[in-house]
């Protein structure tokens, strides 16, 4: 199956706006009228660092990185690299 490219970038210079965009992306999986909450945890695709897909093809995507330095983490693509959500550092093993 060919990789696809998400449309909306997720990276912002303001950490507050960065977190807001992550929340908006997550909320996109909820009903459009906002009347219902999630009925189960949001499941992100899990990858080892060595198996992460090409960042340029997945700009704005979220993934779970199981073996990142310092422990498992959520990361997103800025179109160039996979970055850790908590501190915007590049993912590394």
pTM of the predicted protein model: 0.62
Residue 17: predicted pLDDT: 74
Q: Has residue 18 got a pLDDT over 60?
A: yes
Q: Are strands 46-47 and 62-65 parallel, antiparallel or unpaired?
A: parallel
Residue 81: predicted pLDDT: 95
Q: Which residues contact 56 (CB under 8 A, 6 or more apart)?
A: 77, 79, 80
**φ, ψ at 77 (rounded to 5°):** -95, 130
**What is the dihedral sign for C-alpha 11, 15, 21, 26?**
positive
Residue 46: predicted pLDDT: 93
Q: Express each pLDDT in 43-87 by its tens digit.
A: 788 999 999 999 999 888 999 999 998 899 999 999 999 999 999
Name the pLDDT band for 2 (thresholds 50, 70, 90).
Answer: low
């Amino acid at each position: 199956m060919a990789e696809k490219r998400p449309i909306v970038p997720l990276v912002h210079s303001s950490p507050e706006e960065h977190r807001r965009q992550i929340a908006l992306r997550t909320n996109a999986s909820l009903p459009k009228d906002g009347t219902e909450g999630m009925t189960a945890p949001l499941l992100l695709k899990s990858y080892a660092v060595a198996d992460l897909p090409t960042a340029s093809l997945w700009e704005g995507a979220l993934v779970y990185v199981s073996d990142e330095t310092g422990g498992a983490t959520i990361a997103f693509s800025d179109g160039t690299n996979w970055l850790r959500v908590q501190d915007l550092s590049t993912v590394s093993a």
